[in-house]
Structure 1
Amino acid sequence: MDVLTEALASMRTDRPASVRTNGRAPWGLRMPPTAGAGFHVVLCGGCWLIPKLSTGPADPVRLEAGDVIFLRAGPEHVLTDEPGTPAGVAGAEYFQDDELVGAYNIGGSGELTSLLCGNYHLDRARPHPLVSQLPELIHLRTRDGRHPQLTSAVQLLRTELDGPRIGSSGIVPALIDSLLLYILRAWMDECPTRSAGWATALKDPAIAPALAAMHADPANSWTVESLAGRAGLSRAAFAKKFNTMVGEPPLTYLTRWRMTTAARLLRESDAPLAAVAARTGYGSEFAFAKAFKREYGQAPGGYRRAHAMPVEAVAA
């Protein structure tokens, strides 16, 4: 079970929105806050990112061709050829385009910078702890041989965007979806090996198998003892290590994952409530509905009606 993929899929509420932004100096673009996670890939040229994080405005960040930016909570930020250049606001039309990836042209007649900009629609009301533990801003450089898989994904995207061919309508959305996994994998590779948190939990020889077991079979009657057996540790040692790395006790995380799985099934399928209850470890529809309402504040049926995903987004 790929815990990273499952965790991200559990938060996904729609397909990514993306647009190719072409700026010719002088240019500046203010991106308003978005509900989800923002990303930028510099396809050619260079520019500056001026982020506004939860702690307030941050120092400008220089971006060059091949750089990738991930903004965990979609904060307001500015992209510009130079700090100080006036920045217009990206309006509602920014992502409204019938093309495979929309095009947005801005600026004067100077040097060209081309970026792929967009956001991943993620449920920020109940974020998976893997995502909530991420830095607000991740800046990855793919030059000089760093992160070869991420580099390849960026190069493939640029090739498809520069010269769309037969199959591009399927390839580009899949590459943009995959880009999020490549970004997080590259960031985890850069994390110190002795740091706590999900970046190390997913690679830890004891904790990773326990997480994979819960993700693969949330309906199982897992106990701390049975999970410790998967980890090859004593009950006490496992519970302490899990709590340190993941940020909560094993059975608390199991309940969270069961509810997260249930919400995803309600959004993405028409499975009967009894089937959803069985797949998430509840012996009756009543017990499941009570637990779900306690976690989400509404009954499963009401949640399904309010949050059902479009068919095309589920199929993506």
Structure 2
Amino acid sequence: MDALTGLLDGPRARGAFLLRASLAPPWSVRIQDEAPLCLVAMARGGAWLMPDGGAPLHAAEGDVLVIRGPGHYTVADDPATPPQIVVHPGQRCTTPDGTSLAEALDLGVRSWGTDPDGPSVLLVGAYQLRGAVTGRLLAALPPVVAVRAADLGSPLLPLLGTEIVRDEPGQDVVLDRLLDLLLIAVLRHWFARPEAAAPGWYRAHGDPVVGPALRLLHAEPARPWTVAALAAEVGASRAALAQRFGRLVGEPPMAYLTGLRLAEAADLLRESERTLEAIARRVGYGTAFALSAAFKREQGVSPQEYRAARAAGPRVEPG
């Protein structure tokens, strides 16, 4: 497993919010749902994205935007159009003065908007859960990622557009997987762009010394690594690896490994019923106590508290 695969393995939608929005001008939607990650694809027409505190960005037909939460933003046919619809946490829709629009905007199965034949059609997918591996991804992203239709060249967007309005057995699972695949396709393309300002670990992936070291850490995070053992595996001196790794990745090898292990532990706490002892062994800690101490330093809560908070609902954010 390489570093990018490890990072992109984090977003695994579980009952994600997916919607086809069909709108006629003038239209403007204020997004305040605070979802940790949202994907907006222009299936037809164009739109403007106005992040709070950021510059307006135009998306044309076929373009895909990935928006990092929990910041608020507005999507509209024109930057000058005032918001008419406000989307709150839990995907509750109102007018700016608070009047519910739940029935007025309902256009059928996962369909919503002001006009079923509107010239602007957006496919929206919002991740409601923020797991720890996804947290590492969020930390690596800018507030908005934009990938143009000509650059993406993926059949996933029209497929999502077809599937999003179907009402078949198991459809939620189909849509979750399509959302994951489209997100990964977009981010993989974005990370490869020179202007993307990708994080240090991504740029280091191509280094002849640090790249193999990163791949080893991701492939075997539970192995009892030391800097000396890692250096021996990649054919470098301990000092050379430590210096090069820190310069390219931005943190020492063992600090990177600790973050990787704790991210995997958090993912397992969220998505499995494994005991803390079993999770500790899987991610490279000798005992549940050792994992618990490290986890609390990183997250601010114990593993048990983290798991309990996750079970309570998607909006609970421990730490």
| TM-score using structure 1 length | 0.81
CA contact (8 A) 1:26 1:110 kept: no
CA contact (8 A) 1:36 1:124 kept: no
Aligned equivalent of 2:310, options 289, 302, 307: 307
1:147 aligns with 2:155: no
Q: Distance in 1 between matches of 2:253 and 2:212?
A: 12
CA contact (8 A) 2:22 2:117 kept: no
In structure 2, give the amino acid aligned to 1:133: A
In structure 1, give the amino acid aligned to 2:21: T
CA contact (8 A) 1:35 1:124 kept: no
Deviation at 1:187, TM superposition (A): 0.3
Q: Distance in 1 between matches of 2:40 and 2:301?
A: 36
Q: Distance in 2 between matches of 1:215 and 1:33?
A: 33
After superposition, the Cα gap between the structure-2 partners of 1:194 and 1:176, relative to the gap in structure 1 and judged at 3 Å, is closer
Aligned equivalent of 2:143, options 136, 154, 160: 136
**Aligned residue in 1 for 2:19:** 19
**Aligned residue in 2 for 1:36:** 36
Deviation at 1:175, TM superposition (A): 0.9
Deviations 1:208-241 (A, max 9, x none): 3322322222221101122223434332232223
Q: What 5-or-longer segments of structure 1 have no aligned partner?
A: 311-316
After superposition, the Cα gap between the structure-2 partners of 1:290 and 1:196, relative to the gap in structure 1 and judged at 3 Å, is closer
Q: What 5-or-longer segments of structure 2 have no aligned partner?
A: 94-101, 314-319
Query: 1:149-228 maps to which residues of 2 (within 5 A)?
Result: 151-161=154-164, 169-191=172-194, 197-228=200-231
Deviation at 1:105, TM superposition (A): 0.8
After superposition, the Cα gap between the structure-2 partners of 1:27 and 1:110, relative to the gap in structure 1 and judged at 3 Å, is farther
**Aligned residue in 2 for 1:102:** 110
Q: Distance in 2 between matches of 1:12 and 1:294?
A: 26
Q: Distance in 1 between matches of 2:5 and 2:15?
A: 15
In structure 1, give the amino acid aligned to 2:55: D
Say which is worse superposed, 37-46 or 151-160, in terms of deviation: 151-160
SS in 1 for 2:301: coil
Q: Distance in 1 between matches of 2:209 and 2:108?
A: 43
After superposition, the Cα gap between the structure-2 partners of 1:153 and 1:229, relative to the gap in structure 1 and judged at 3 Å, is farther
Q: Distance in 2 between matches of 1:73 and 1:127?
A: 12
After superposition, the Cα gap between the structure-2 partners of 1:99 and 1:237, relative to the gap in structure 1 and judged at 3 Å, is farther
Q: Distance in 1 between matches of 2:206 and 2:312?
A: 32
Query: 1:268-279 maps to which residues of 2 (within 5 A)?
Result: 268-279=271-282
In structure 1, give the amino acid aligned to 2:87: A
Q: Distance in 2 between matches of 1:194 and 1:298?
A: 32
SS in 2 for 1:21: strand
**Aligned residue in 2 for 1:75:** 71
Deviation at 1:167, TM superposition (A): 6.9
Q: Distance in 1 between matches of 2:234 and 2:131?
A: 31
SS in 1 for 2:192: helix
Deviation at 1:254, TM superposition (A): 0.9
Q: Distance in 2 between matches of 1:289 and 1:110?
A: 54
CA contact (8 A) 2:13 2:177 kept: no
Deviation at 1:5, TM superposition (A): 3.8
After superposition, the Cα gap between the structure-2 partners of 1:194 and 1:21, relative to the gap in structure 1 and judged at 3 Å, is closer
| TM-score using structure 2 length | 0.80
Q: Distance in 1 between matches of 2:290 and 2:108?
A: 45
Deviation at 1:44, TM superposition (A): 0.6
**Aligned residue in 1 for 2:62:** 66
Identity of aligned residues (%): 37
Q: Distance in 1 between matches of 2:17 and 2:197?
A: 36
In structure 2, give the amino acid aligned to 1:147: L
In structure 2, give the amino acid aligned to 1:221: P
In structure 1, give the amino acid aligned to 2:252: P
Q: Distance in 1 between matches of 2:196 and 2:306?
A: 40
Deviation at 1:181, TM superposition (A): 0.9
**Aligned residue in 2 for 1:93:** 92
Q: Distance in 2 between matches of 1:84 and 1:263?
A: 43
1:281 aligns with 2:284: yes
